[in-house]
Homo-oligomer: A and B are copies of this chain.
Amino acid sequence: MMTALQAFEEKKRFVHLKELLRSANHIQKIKKGTFLFQEGMAANELYLILSGKIQMSKMSQDGKEMCFRICSAGEIIGELTLFTNEPKYLLNAKVMEDGEVAVIKKDYLEEQLLLNPTLTFEYMQWLSNHARRTQTKFRDLILLGKKGALYSTLIRMCNSYGIRLKDGSILIDLPLKNQDLANFCGTTRESVNRMLNALKQEGILSIHKGKITIHDLDYLKREVQCENCPIEICRIE
């Protein structure tokens, strides 16, 4: 779990990049249930989320959904279209919660990134960390079986969206349906339901109003033989 200091450090990161993004072209309202963009669409802009929540996912041809991350205020989306040939969005951006995004022209951002070494540095750092996170995440999802996949997802969600409560429990501050979790870890809502209920029985976690609270994170870590990798790596996104 993130300590107060770590959270502080995390916020200090990429300050120049975020500063640049704030000088955006215009602001756009986003409404729950709509898509900000969908995979395959030509990508000329990227977005800084000002408020609201957006789920980034990718569909398989047969209708199954792989969920990558849930983004909220301060996060950049559409970033992987930068510096690509025929830029198309690779993911779907589905709005989970009303809000606003700042719209940034891709061309402008690319130009600025190359002109300013500090920006370049921050962006490369972000990309490297992204790639590193992805490697450990997918190793877990693929090698640990579905139960391990769920446990690993819960652990990462604690690090990405968790709030430490007074009793030491961690509230994952996102309303998550069984189906959402299933989409994150490549299983079915029924399996997720059974596994969550088993964990509830054991007192490992509890659920109120669609939000999960983890009471015994160490249990989950033991079960997946967690190697306690650095906090910037062991995250959902």
| Chain A residues proximal to chain B, CB less than 8 Å | 58, 60-62, 64, 66, 68, 80-86, 90-91, 113-115, 117, 120-121, 123-125, 127-132, 134-136, 138-144, 186, 224-227, 230, 232
Contact = CB atoms under 8 A, between A and B. Distances in A.
Given A60-B140, A60-B144, A143-B186, 15 more contacts: A58-B139, A60-B225, A61-B224, A61-B225, A83-B121, A84-B125, A84-B128, A85-B232, A90-B136, A91-B135, A114-B117, A115-B117, A123-B124, A134-B134, A134-B138
A60 B223 CA distance: 13
Q: Which one of A86, A121, A139, A140 has the greatest number of beta carbons of chain B within 10 Å? A: A139
A100 to B, nearest CB: 26
Contacts of A81: 128
Closest 5 CB pairs of A and B: A61-B225, A142-B186, A138-B138, A83-B125, A127-B127
Contacts of A141: 138, 142
12 contacts: A58-B136, A61-B227, A66-B138, A66-B142, A80-B128, A82-B124, A84-B125, A84-B129, A90-B132, A90-B135, A113-B124, A141-B142
Q: How many copies, total?
A: 2
The prevalent SS among residues of A at the interface is helix
A173 B232 CA distance: 37
A60 B137 CA distance: 11
Contact of A64 (B80, B134, B143): B143
A82 B128 CA distance: 7
